[in-house]
Structure 1
Amino acid sequence: MKPLDRFISQMVESARLAQTQDASAATALIQKALAESGLLPQGGLPQAPMAPAAPFVDLNQAPGWRAGTSRRHGRGAVHAPHPSRHRANADAQAPGRFVGGSFSCAAGARRYKLYIPARPAQGPRPLVVMLHGCTQNPDDFATGTAMNALAEEHGCLVLYPEQDKGANHNGCWNWFEPAHQGRERGEPAILAGMTRQVIGEHGGDPARVYAAGLSAGGAMAAILGADYPELYAAVGIHSGLPAGSAKDMMSGLKAMREPGKGRKLRQGVPAIVFHGDADHLVNPGNGEAVLAQFLRAQGAELQQHTEAHDHAGRRCTRHTWRDSAGRSVVEHWQLHGAGHAWSGGNPAGSHTDAAGPSASAEMLRFFLSHHG
């Protein structure tokens, strides 16, 4: 049995054990699977009581800022960087303010970080909502994507919502649960409400609001684009999955391995998709499935263009669909040889690939060509 197939089968079995209230056996199996896959030291984690329902299993390695100093050395080891590498607004190219806040509504509450450019606003500012992946937080994601420095150049606000560990102990957005896949409910309602609040309080431009994310954050960005087309003018999905591609934890794991089509969208928003063709955590076919989902929803005849690029030794193929005015409406960046990481990212952040192309720069370029 292949390692990924074995890992998934162990996760499915752990979910069954948890549902039968055999918490200790489920915990032991999860730790065994994570240890065998190299995502956990062989000694495992301290035992802790499990909830009756199994939580979604994070497939990303813990980033260095969470690893502590006692992790093992050798292959698969995670070494903690100096704490200053992950402090808020560590990027010297981003001289603006990086402030904390919170939002609450009937669906729940979440904290966030917001980047406010240093340069004076010349009018309402564009707003980019950045959704981190599993095990990440706003500071780490801002560091890894370097989006704040780009936002400073273009005068954009950047909002980094933070998943609550009480909602998902691995910090994953719950894209795989029906309760968080619909309009005005669950996490999409929280994120949309938070977006509106930041627009109102910080001079955001309601016509230039965008959402992007990595992995679980990419899957949630797809949901926001699907359910709030009047709020988000465009979305960026990096190493994510289509909206509605799962209905629970087990089908979520299956979708990560065997891509589905996702649900039909009522209205299409412009979308830019990045995915590495060597991604062993989220099958690269999911990038194509996201692409197909948003293309089907465009409702207009588009002209396709294909270009090959080489960025710092990383080959990639860019597929572009343009409208009658020549504007790029949907883009798909296939990253050849790339794994599950933010393309062109800063290695000081977790889950990044410095080889490029810069997903942040390309997404921002794409975003700012669209408005609601």
Structure 2
Amino acid sequence: MAKRIRKSPWTKVFERSFAQMTRETLKAGARAAEQTLKLVAEKRKPPAGEGDWISGLAIGAGGMRRYRLYRPPDVLFGERLPLVVMLHGCGQDAKSFAQSTRMNKIAARERFLVLYPEQDRLANAQGCWNWFDTRSGRAYAEAELIMRAIDQVCLLYQADRARVAVAGLSAGASMAALLVTRHPGRFKAVMMHSGIPPGTAHSPLSAVGAMHGLRSSRPLMASPVAMAALWPPLLVVHGGLDRVVLASNGQAAARVWAGAAGAQPAAGRNVQRGKRYPMTVTDYRLRRDTVATLVEVAQLGHAWSGGAAKQPFSDAQGPDASRIMWQFAAKQFQR
């Protein structure tokens, strides 16, 4: 019969402590796993509303850029949805821009896709799109990367190539304008919020000057026949209290589109919805066609008009720019 080995008191204390440590480690591991799963689920969850929040990567000669895509729920196989491309401003990323603009909520209701390309902080430390850097070619390279993202979404997620619009805030608005001047046939509408007209800057220094109304060169122009035939209609939203990108830039952008097509401004309309800031809406028309629409909000600063409260670069008291932009784009999609 084997002799029973008696454990010393120290051995018993060690075994009890080890067992307790094991149980605590397992509990901690379970809690950590649960928290990790919650974080992963949170990242996959779209910023607002039901639907899918999809990550993607566009690669081209200019490097690579991440993007996020919002897809509304219950998309049918073979169903082609319109696409709205949203380009964030400086200090923002795809998720914060989606949260600020709340465009996903409109997309869920109206059934369209929303693409949020994201600037790389290695390309610009402030997260700004380099729309101005045309001399070095960086502006054009970034524009091509955004086009790669659009092509991917059209191919992989059933976006309708014939119904694509692009919108942006500040630097994103200026990049949106650059996109349509380089690829006019790819877009049905362009919407600029607090941006600078194309062709007015070619370097960081001249971009800062243009933001404050100083122009190193004249805005991009072309023959009226070519512009009227190719450039999509433009919507401009700009705040009268904007001290970052002066309101004169919004007016200049509208005049570039109108002048190139030979359009003339109609009388401005004063509009106020509920308790939101009033706005003045001016259409630039060529015969029966509206070439550009300028929405001026006198009490708005450098912020997304009607955006979510407590979000950076967002003013909930302004007219709902996201709704206005979708209505503008939807009208062009029907033509």
TM-score between the two structures when normalised by the length of structure 2: 0.79
Give the conservation status (yes or no) of the 8 Å contact 2:130–2:138: no
Q: How does 1:84-233 map to 2 (within 5 A)?
A: 89-91=46-48, 94-121=49-76, 123-179=79-135, 185-233=140-188
Q: How does 1:346-365 map to 2 (within 5 A)?
A: 346-365=308-327
C-alpha change, 1:368 and 1:304, in structure 2 (3 Å) is same
Shift of 1:174: 0.4
Runs of 4+ in 1 over 3 A off after TM superposition: 179-183, 322-325
Shift of 1:89: 2.0
Cα distance in 1, alignment partners of residues 311 and 183 from structure 2: 30
Cα distance in 2, alignment partners of residues 181 and 284 from structure 1: 28
Cα distance in 1, alignment partners of residues 293 and 311 from structure 2: 25
Cα distance in 1, alignment partners of residues 316 and 184 from structure 2: 32
Structure 2 match to 1:290: 253
C-alpha change, 1:113 and 1:257, in structure 2 (3 Å) is same
Cα distance in 2, alignment partners of residues 193 and 349 from structure 1: 29
Q: Is residue 330 of structure 1 aligned with residue 287 of structure 2?
A: no
Structure 1 match to 2:22: none
Q: Secondary structure at the match of 1:297?
A: helix
Shift of 1:258: 1.6
Give the conservation status (yes or no) of the 8 Å contact 2:165–2:188: yes
C-alpha change, 1:196 and 1:90, in structure 2 (3 Å) is closer
Q: Secondary structure at the match of 2:243?
A: coil
Q: Is residue 340 of structure 1 aligned with residue 297 of structure 2?
A: no
Q: Secondary structure at the match of 2:144?
A: helix
Structure 2 match to 1:245: 200
Q: How does 1:239-318 map to 2 (within 5 A)?
A: 239-260=194-215, 261-265=218-222, 267=227, 268-298=231-261, 301=263, 304-311=266-273, 312-318=275-281
TM-score between the two structures when normalised by the length of structure 1: 0.71
Name the % identity.
35
Cα distance in 1, alignment partners of residues 291 and 137 from structure 2: 24
Shift of 1:193: 1.7
Structure 1 match to 2:7: none
Cα distance in 2, alignment partners of residues 236 and 216 from structure 1: 13
Give the conservation status (yes or no) of the 8 Å contact 1:344–1:353: yes
- The residue identity in structure 2 corresponding to 1:190 is L
Shift of 1:317: 0.3
Cα distance in 2, alignment partners of residues 170 and 254 from structure 1: 18
Q: Secondary structure at the match of 1:178?
A: coil
1:181-209 C-alpha deviation (Å, 9 max, x unpaired): 799x4111111121111111111111110
Cα distance in 2, alignment partners of residues 317 and 219 from structure 1: 22
C-alpha change, 1:369 and 1:257, in structure 2 (3 Å) is same
Give the conservation status (yes or no) of the 8 Å contact 1:273–1:331: yes
Structure 2 match to 1:75: none
Shift of 1:249: 1.0
Q: Secondary structure at the match of 2:155?
A: helix
Q: Secondary structure at the match of 1:318?
A: strand
1:223-243 C-alpha deviation (Å, 9 max, x unpaired): 112111111111000000011
C-alpha change, 1:179 and 1:113, in structure 2 (3 Å) is farther
1:106-125 C-alpha deviation (Å, 9 max, x unpaired): 22210000000103348311
Structure 2, unaligned runs of 5 or more: 1-38
1:95-141 C-alpha deviation (Å, 9 max, x unpaired): 11111111101222100000001033483110000000001010000
C-alpha change, 1:180 and 1:307, in structure 2 (3 Å) is farther
Cα distance in 2, alignment partners of residues 319 and 181 from structure 1: 34
- The residue identity in structure 2 corresponding to 1:160 is Y
1:76-99 C-alpha deviation (Å, 9 max, x unpaired): xxxxxxx9xx965232xx211111
Shift of 1:269: 1.6
Q: Over alpha carbons, which structure has the higher Rg?
A: 2
Cα distance in 2, alignment partners of residues 179 and 139 from structure 1: 31
Shift of 1:298: 2.7
Structure 1, unaligned runs of 5 or more: 1-82
Cα distance in 2, alignment partners of residues 272 and 247 from structure 1: 23
Cα distance in 2, alignment partners of residues 128 and 208 from structure 1: 9
More helix by share: 2
Shift of 1:284: 0.7
Give the conservation status (yes or no) of the 8 Å contact 1:116–1:156: yes
